[in-house]
Amino acid sequence: MIIGNPLEILYKTVEVIKEGKNGKVLLVVSLADDKKKAKRFFVKKERALKTAEIYERLKDIKSPNLPKIYHTLEFEGKFFIVEEFINGRTLADYLEHNNGLNEKQSAQVLRQLCECLKIIHAQKIIHRDIKPSNVILTEDNVVKLIDFSISRIEKENKTNDTDFLGTQGFAAPEQFGFKQTDSRTDIYSLGVTIQRLLGENYNGYLKKILAKCTEIDPDNRYQSVDEILADMNKKYFSYKIKKAAIKLTEICATIFFIVTGVQKFLEVPAPKIESKPAVVEVNPVDKKFEKVKPRENPVKVEWAEIKIPEPENYTSSEQPTLKISEINTLPNDETVTDPRLNQICTLTLNGKTYSLDDSEIPSEIWQAWEIEGDTVYLPQNFSVSFNLENKNSAPLNVSIKANLKGLQTSEKVFPATIAAGTSKTFEIPIGGLACDHGNFEVEIWLTENDDEPLYGFWNNENFNNHGTIIIYLSDYNKWRTQKKI
């Protein structure tokens, strides 16, 4: 006759890991390996009998993100489990000694926990206690979710849980009696856990994902971990494209400066200008820029728009052109649109409006501009008009930030509230701006409530919250030669 717990015949206790209201957790060693040099360690847990169904289901699950269960036993009104001993550190330990994890590491933890939750949620198991101390990261960077002591089986047609359990700060509101817990409850705790790893000041591509995970109302959260994984892939892809575009722009800008430097070195000096051409009389506005000395090279140019001309003379019949265009920051298939807004951005020159479709501006508009060397000064009555139409049923608090970039730079911010069903036009003065080779740009950022980016249309093309107006003289040397004839 066997006296006592049958598992004591198979395993010997090495030490008590934890002892609490949910029972003991022991580190044990297999007695079958007692005579071997390499002993195998396991974790033996004592749990309430009501958890038996959960652990029996877990026993049949094979997942790299769950500890393997070797034995389960009901004995004297209690339930015992022997499971894999995991060699690693809890996320709580990383928070205490390393101040959390970086973005890449946190994203890997989030992905693995999502894969784990996908499996247990399919078995109707709700963990209900996801927190840093219940997640172990092994030396091989494998995530293990442990401690199912307060887990439950999701039941249909129930309005709330029988037991109101959870860890304060990580538990979702419905765990305290408001609704029945379900897979969205674990999503809430998952979001709080990853936020703790990244810290309060984190502002990367996971920020909005975590914010949606931790919505108070379960209906506003992700409805499954599959939705989290899909959103992670989408936002990460956009993030990588943006970083690659910035890197490519830097490389091409460097190449352009080298080519421009060689051209400057080989260029035949232009004849000296004896007198300045007449300037068209306009109604001046307050000058926003002080005239600067001519420079050999521009501070910043848009490499994708500049055409490198041949230094030669042209007849007056060959007219160079002034053009305007716009560049979106991301490909159209990577942007989204906000149905509340409709935006139209135009350029106003001498009282006439031009749309951003690579339009050519008549020569009489720019023939009288003042030039000194390679520096061009814009007439005072130039401006960029930006019209916003609020198609929503509620007012919008918007803010436009315009960065003007020539040889001088300036930032202007235009906040406004646009009533429902109305539109507002913003005038951005650019008169007096000093440009290099007749090239300048107006970079526009559009936000709501001074923080959240607005998405919509920019001249009928998708854009995110950022667009750039590029204005340039094509064949600059041709124009400069004609000015000096």
pLDDT tens-place string over residues 3-23: 678 888 889 999 999 888 888
Residue type at position 458: W
- Is there a contact between 356 and 344 (Cβ–Cβ < 8 Å)? no
Q: Which of 31-45, 149-163, 304-318, 338-352 has the lowest mean pLDDT?
A: 304-318
User: Is residue 236 scored above 80 in pLDDT?
Assistant: no
Residues 6+ apart with CB under 8 A from 169: 192
Residues 6+ apart with CB under 8 A from 112: 65, 142, 143
Backbone dihedral angles phi then psi of residue 429, each to the nearest 5 degrees? -70, 135
Question: Within 13 Å, how many C-alpha atoms sit on residue 30's CB side?
Answer: 15
pLDDT tens-place string over residues 364-391: 566 666 777 667 777 777 777 777 777 7
The residue with greater pLDDT, 34 or 383, is: 383
**Cα–Cα distances in Å, from 22 out to 104, 128, 185, 284?**
35, 14, 21, 80
pLDDT band at 323 (very low <50, low <70, confident <90, very high): low
Average pLDDT of the chain?
75
The residue with greater pLDDT, 58 or 331, is: 58
DSSP structural state of residue 220: G
Residue located via tokens 């307060």? 150
pLDDT tens-place string over residues 264-312: 666 656 555 555 555 545 444 454 555 555 544 444 433 333 333 333 4
Residues 6+ apart with CB under 8 A from 229: 111, 114, 115
Distance (Å, rounded) from C-alpha 410 to C-alpha 469?
15
pLDDT band at 250 (very low <50, low <70, confident <90, very high): confident
Distance (Å, rounded) from C-alpha 18 to C-alpha 291?
74
Q: Which of 53-62, 69-78, 145-154, 425-434 has the lowest mean pLDDT?
A: 425-434
> Based on the number of CB atoms within 10 Å of its own CB, is 61 exposed (0-12), middle (13-18) or buried (19 or more)?
middle
pLDDT tens-place string over residues 394-403: 787 888 887 7
pLDDT, position 209: 95
What are the tokens at 159? 């309005």
pLDDT, position 336: 47
pLDDT, position 484: 45
Closest CA to 466 of 483, 439, 448, 443: 443
Closest CA to 163 of 59, 67, 21: 21
The b-or-e profile of 6-39 (16+ CB within 10 A means b, else e) is ebeebbeeeeeeeeeebbebbebbbeeeeeeeee
Give the CA dihedral 154, 159, 164, 169, nearest 10 degrees. 90
Distance (Å, rounded) from C-alpha 298 to C-alpha 288?
20
User: Is residue 454 scored above 70 in pLDDT?
Assistant: no
The residue with greater pLDDT, 162 or 35, is: 35
pLDDT band at 120 (very low <50, low <70, confident <90, very high): very high
Mean pLDDT of 141-148: 94
What are the tokens at 29? 């060693």
Complete DSSP assignment for 295-360: -SS-S---TTT----------TTS---EEEEEEESS-GGG----TTEEEEEEEEETTEEEETTTPE
pLDDT band at 313 (very low <50, low <70, confident <90, very high): very low
Backbone dihedral angles phi then psi of residue 256, each to the nearest 5 degrees? -60, -45
- Domains present along the chain, CATH in parentheses: 7-84 (3.30.200.20), 89-237 (1.10.510.10), 292-484 (no CATH)
Task: For the chain, report the end-to-end CA distance as a whole number of angstroms.
Answer: 117
Residues 6+ apart with CB under 8 A from 97: none
pLDDT band at 475 (very low <50, low <70, confident <90, very high): low
pLDDT band at 356 (very low <50, low <70, confident <90, very high): low
pLDDT, position 383: 78
pLDDT tens-place string over residues 148-164: 999 999 887 665 555 65
pLDDT, position 258: 82
Closest CA to 301 of 249, 374, 367, 370: 249
Q: What percent of the chain has pLDDT over 70?
A: 62
pLDDT tens-place string over residues 167-201: 888 999 888 776 788 999 999 999 999 999 999 89
User: Is residue 447 scored above 90 in pLDDT?
Assistant: no
Element (H, E) at 11: strand 11-20
pLDDT, position 321: 57
Helices (H) and strands (E) in the chain, counts: 9, 26
Question: Within 13 Å, how many C-alpha atoms sit on residue 457's CB side?
Answer: 14
Element (H, E) at 234: helix 225-266
Mean pLDDT of 246-258: 78
3-class DSSP state of 165:
coil
